[in-house]
Amino acid sequence: MINITLDLETAIKRAYAAARCNFSAPWAVVTKLYSCSTEITEDYLSDFDFKGKRVITVGSSGDQVLTFAFLGSKDITLMDANPLTPFFVNLKIAALKTLTREEFINFFKQDSDHNFMNMQLYGKIRSELDETTKVFWDKLYDDEIQDSIFHFYSGVNESSIPPYLTSDEKYEELRSKIDDVKLSFHNSDISTFHEYAESEYEFIDLSNIYTYVSKEKYWKSVENLYQHLSPNGYMKLHYCSPNELSDFAYLDKFPFAVSVKDIEENAFILWQNDEYLYEKNHVNKTY
């Protein structure tokens, strides 16, 4: 579980604000929560060895966290601009520990039958929650707003299913690993997250943050986070469609080896660290 530092009164006020927030409002991105990841991760992450590796990723729906844990990472740092994220990640971890794979999928699946976050399955989960997270979700269920604080997506589907949900065996494998993973959360947007980074990380996953911030802010933040990328580590810059790749045409201005890996109709843009450039830039702070 993730330690929660946000006080309950503030968290519940933010939950009410999220419930009232219109999906199209500009601030919905950092007000409402995401129930599931829509990134197609299994095809490209299987190329990497995460066993024992340190990872930074977005908190988001918690799927990224659980995926890296499933692949072997023992030390995962989450960042997210939404301070409610750890309440949901803790709920997802508790669901993993108490529900069958089928129940887990049904609980987090947003569908026309209104089964999303249903009370019956929550009753199974709540005994596994820490006290702070339990009080938070109990209040939302009592007031019947538990399913109103999310962006509406189709939820788990075959094209974007996380690897830990692809079979009962993999689900049980993650269940056996999750208690041994060190998780930490920092409520921060990308521009200040480097201030919370500790030492070096073998993989830095920026998901699709590029879509939501100014390009100047994004690239400056990437430069700052780069200082925490280990030799031969990787930074995932973006997840996009091929027609967006032109935005990254000027990557040769940065001291990184660049590779773009196509996955079906989408692409993941990865920067691989270079040990020589790393030593030069890490020590001298020059670009």
Beta bridge pairs of residue 76: 55, 183
- Tokens linked to 110: 């947003």
pLDDT tens-digit map of 109-126: 876 666 789 999 999 999
Whether 238 contacts 256, CB under 8 Å: no
Stretch 60-66: mean pLDDT: 92
Q: What average pLDDT is seen over the chain?
A: 83
Q: Flag whether pLDDT at 42 surpasses 60.
A: no
In whole angstroms, give the CA distance from residue 68 to residue 56: 10
Predicted structure pTM score: 0.87
Stretch 53-76: mean pLDDT: 94
- Residue 94 identity (one-letter amino acid): A
- Residue 7 identity (one-letter amino acid): D
- Predicted local distance difference test score (pLDDT) of residue 159: 57
In whole angstroms, give the CA distance from residue 81 to residue 104: 26
- Predicted local distance difference test score (pLDDT) of residue 160: 66
Maximum mean pLDDT: which of 35-39, 230-234, 245-249: 230-234
Beta bridge pairs of residue 184: 77
pLDDT tens-digit map of 182-219: 999 999 999 999 999 988 999 999 988 888 888 888 88
Residue-range domain boundaries for the chain? 1-37+82-179
Element (DSSP H or E) covering residue 260: strand 257-263
* CA-based torsion, 25, 3, 67, 188: positive or negative: positive
CA–CA distances in Å: residue 176 to residues 48, 52, 88, 89, 171:
21, 15, 20, 17, 9
